[in-house]
Amino acid sequence: MRSFNTSLEGGFILIGFSDWPQLERVFFVFISVFYFLILFGNSTIIMVSRMDHRLQTPMYFFLNNLSFLDLCYTTSTVPQLLVNLSGIDQTMSYAGCMTQLFIVLSLGGTECILLVVMAFDRYAAVCRPLHYMTIMHPLLCRALAILSWVGGVVNSLVQTGLIMTTPLCSIHKLNTFFCDLLVLLKLACEDIRGTEANLLVAGAIILGCPVALILGTYAHIAHAVLKIKSMAGRRKALGTCGSHLTVVFLFYGSAMYAYLQPAHSYSETEGKFVALFYTIITPMLNPLIYTLRNKDVKGALWKALGRSTDSEVQ
């Protein structure tokens, strides 16, 4: 392990993956490739959906927001991780750490709410198909997107504020690759049971409530699908929801495992790999999930590349 300068005053030392120095180069290469795929995949979805008139619908408006969120989310952590792995610098100022924490929590909270909005969009498409465009009016779509971003910022203000009012010990070593909420709590120099309880409540609200709403929405969707008599109709209805459900499972599964637990029982080593999953793997998979399962997106991609789809040839 590298020797760290523990005289850093008012800042933090990000240990990252220096516990495994023999793997740091391997991590650097793989994470660089994954980061490129995230940038390419999500940027492609945004670009293609803006270029193709068939994708000018509420569903793809929210998908654009999700792709932009993923771009921002990974960019708020991955460049710092790559610098850390290269050995150039493993320090971060207190202000930089709190800024990163605020941004990460804001973007994560925004995605929690946006996934609920996307579930509502799927409900309108499946359960109210004849009134879909009336319900999902462009003004409502923009309002729901703004609500998602504002909700994420409010959630972050609460949680970041709680961390900033917690006194931390003098040697600020963070056994992670970015300023993570629960890792910061472990540096507290006083009884944090009250702060921990408040953070758990805030985490339960921003994670638990959206999950409950999504499950309730899909219960209504499932009921509506069962009323469809033709198998083709059922497959089409389920196809519009499959991609979203997969993304929900990946995002909420890792986020709830990471944040809905007390700080004293949080494993920093295990937490680093969980954090890798929701900061890198999930944003990388999202474009694949939506393109591989969606004929419209695949068709728009082929069109953008100058090739015709089978349906266009016919």
Domain positions in the chain are 11-313
Q: What is the pLDDT of residue 191?
A: 76
Q: Are strands 173-174 and 91-93 parallel, antiparallel or unpaired?
A: unpaired
CB atoms under 10 Å from CB of 20, counted, come to: 12
Q: CATH for 11-313, among 1.20.1070.10, 1.10.150.120, 3.90.1720.10, 2.60.40.150? A: 1.20.1070.10
Tally of CA atoms within 13 A in the half-sphere of 1 that contains its CB: 11
Q: What is the pLDDT of residues 95-122, one digit of tens each?
A: 899 999 999 999 999 999 999 999 999 9
Q: Residue range 174-182: average pLDDT?
A: 86
Q: What is the pLDDT of residue 100?
A: 94
What does the mean pLDDT of the chain come to? 84
Residue 54 has pLDDT above 70, yes or no: yes
Q: What percent of the chain has pLDDT over 90?
A: 33
Q: Residue range 256-268: average pLDDT?
A: 75
Q: What is the pLDDT of residue 99?
A: 94
Residue 280 has pLDDT above 80, yes or no: yes
Residue 309 has pLDDT above 70, yes or no: no
Residue 10 has pLDDT above 70, yes or no: no
Q: What is the pLDDT of residues 217-256, one digit of tens each?
A: 999 998 888 887 777 777 777 777 888 888 899 888 888 8
Among the residue ranges 75-79, 106-110, 271-275, the one predicted with the least confidence is: 271-275
pLDDT band at 294 (very low <50, low <70, confident <90, very high): low
Q: Please spell the DSSP secondary structure of the chain, one letter per residue.
A: -----TT--SEEEE-TTTTSGGGHHHHHHHHHHHHHHHHHHHHHHHHHHHH-GGG-SHHHHHHHHHHHHHHHHHHTTHHHHHHHHHTS--EEEHHHHHHHHHHHHHHHHHHHHHHHHHHHHHHHHHHSGGGHHHHT-HHHHHHHHHHHHHHHHHHHHHHHHHHHTS-B-SS-EESSSS--HHHHHTTBSS--HHHHHHHHHHHIIIIIHHHHHHHHHHHHHHHHHHT--SHHHHHHHHHHHHHHHHHHHHHHHHHHHHHSS-GGG--HHHHHHHHHIIIIIHHHHHHHHHHHT-HHHHHHHHHHTT---HHHH-
Structure tokens at 295: 């004929």
Q: Residue range 283-309: average pLDDT?
A: 71
What is the rounded distance in angstroms from the CA atom of residue 92 to the CA atom of residue 12? 5
Q: What is the pLDDT of residue 204?
A: 87
Q: Residue range 279-284: average pLDDT?
A: 90
Q: Supply the pTM of this predicted model.
A: 0.87
When comparing pLDDT for 300 and 287, which is higher? 287
Residue 311 has pLDDT above 50, yes or no: no
